[in-house]
Structure 1
Amino acid sequence: MHLFLTSFFVGFLVLSNIISVKLFDLWGLAILPAAAIVYVFTYPITDVIGEVYGKKAAQQTVKAGFIVQIFASIFILIAIYLPPAPFFADQDAFSAILGGSFRVIIASLTAYIVSQFLDVYIFHRLRSKHGSSKLWLRNNASTILSQLVDTTVFITVAFYGTMPTSALLALIATQYIFKVFVAIIDTPLVYFLVKKTKAAAKKEAETTSISA
């Protein structure tokens, strides 16, 4: 089950980087990157892994995601610069969609590594204080605080100097509000996944014990 969750985590990360170039209008309330609808679910996954398998397992998942993102960026860059076939007419579109800018890539990786490790740290500080109770508190507190850092770091590093400060702050605020909303409503999902993961982990342990 740990491998299954880590696979989803890494898959969501790579997917969010690919679709981040698309901006969508959220009912006229905010303009958000399409990545927002995917990336927000990486935090509950690390919370579930940390709750069931421990802090070290959650940190390893974060590290794995960081390494995969770097390799994905390298291979995408290689794919962009491979000479196109004579009949391939979409090279410019391919480069525009997948290329991104070096500054945005750095912003994404920086925000990711800082916020995800902060999420794991806050989650386990609260768990050491409350034990196995109050999962809702550590799930929401860790996610909401780390998402603030993620949003602020990414938008600041990626766009500072390219737009007025007021627009920059508005972008941070609208994206953060959306992420907080998702964090709150996904709490039942975290409880469900923790229950299922604990059951799977127990079954795996029993199977291993019998095999031994």
Structure 2
Amino acid sequence: MQGSKDTPAEHSARIDTGTAFARVAQSYYPIIVALFTATLIISNVCATKGVAFFGDADVSLGPLQILPINTDGAFFLFPLAYVLGDVLSEVYGFYATRRAIMIGFGSLLLATLCFWIAVELPPADFYENQEAFETVVGVVPRLVVAGLAAYLVGQLLNSFVLVLIKKRTHERHLWARLLGSTVVGELADTLIFCSIAAGAIGISTWRDFVNYVIVGFLWKTIVELLVMPITYRVIAYLKKREPSYAEHLDRASV
């Protein structure tokens, strides 16, 4: 019709008829995967710093050292990876979560390779921080193997257990899925990492090993419990706004 104006989309299509672009799917999945991967990479860098709470105290309960609490600089961040893993598993299923885990695994390998190359590059005469740089991002093969193995096994178990429980409980008892999967995944993660990396991180006695495993496992599980209300809200938000999930819920309620 003469005098009518194109909409922006029609105008773009009319001009760029010879240019092709892939359509971006409307889903929150890529955003969560990006956060999941970033959390893993950042936490691995933060973990190079040793942290001690109540360093002047000396409190023990049998073989377990209560105080001081020795951990690493990623203690506040690493549990978030498991929370995001729970969200992925609950909303998108095991296979989509496995894909995200493999993306994270590949990203960690890439980051490790890049850190190693950067450390090995000859420093400029004016650069005075080579030793500090090596301390923060330097590659310790044993720690790399420990971190990658613990991450892969722990995250896959976390997702598998959550989905397995969901097949039995369906939309009921979300708390049981979140807690049960965390206990299995975090326990496997902590045991594998500590068993492989014990010597590299200075653990030389059985008491220190038990302390590190128990403190790490309890901390991650407690964090999962504390943030569970937020996890509930995020999962509910995604279930309502992911069209395929919302349609499934509508059919199930009929």
* DSSP 3-state at the match of 1:36: coil
Give, in angstroms, the shift of residue 196 of structure 1. Answer: 1.7
Q: Which has the higher helix share?
A: 1
Give yes or no for the alignment of 1:32 onto 2:71: yes
- Indicate how the Cα distance of structure 1 residues 89 and 160 shifts in structure 2: closer, same or farther if over 3 A, else same: closer
Equivalent position of 1:152 in the other structure: 191
Q: Percent identity among equivalent residues?
A: 27
Equivalent position of 2:169 in the other structure: 130
Rounded Cα–Cα distance in structure 1 between residues aligned with 2:223 and 2:245? 31
8 Å CA contact 1:160–1:168 kept in 2: the answer is no
Unaligned segments of structure 2, at least 5 residues: 1-27, 56-66, 248-254
Equivalent position of 2:106 in the other structure: 67
Give, in angstroms, the shift of residue 185 of structure 1. Answer: 0.9
Give, in angstroms, the shift of residue 53 of structure 1. Answer: 1.5
Give, in angstroms, the shift of residue 204 of structure 1. Answer: 10
- Indicate how the Cα distance of structure 1 residues 81 and 134 shifts in structure 2: closer, same or farther if over 3 A, else same: same
Among 19, 31, 36, the alignment partner of 2:46 is 19
Equivalent position of 2:207 in the other structure: 166
Give, in angstroms, the shift of residue 160 of structure 1. Answer: 4.6
- Indicate how the Cα distance of structure 1 residues 66 and 17 shifts in structure 2: closer, same or farther if over 3 A, else same: same
TM-score (norm: length of structure 1): 0.91
Give, in angstroms, the shift of residue 176 of structure 1. Answer: 1.3
8 Å CA contact 1:140–1:184 kept in 2: the answer is yes
Highest Rg: 1 or 2? 2
Letter in structure 2 aligned against 1:34: G
Letter in structure 1 aligned against 2:212: L
Aligned alpha-carbon RMSD (Å) = 1.9
Which piece of structure 1 moves more, 87-96 or 51-60?
Answer: 51-60
User: Superposition pairs for residues 1-212 of structure 1, below 5 Å?
Assistant: 1-27=28-54, 29=67, 30-160=69-199, 162-202=203-243
Structure showing greater relative contact order (alpha-carbon pairs closer than 8 Å, 6 or more residues apart): 1
Unaligned segments of structure 1, at least 5 residues: 207-212
Letter in structure 2 aligned against 1:62: I
8 Å CA contact 2:239–2:245 kept in 1: the answer is no
TM-score (norm: length of structure 2): 0.77
8 Å CA contact 1:49–1:57 kept in 2: the answer is yes
8 Å CA contact 1:50–1:57 kept in 2: the answer is yes
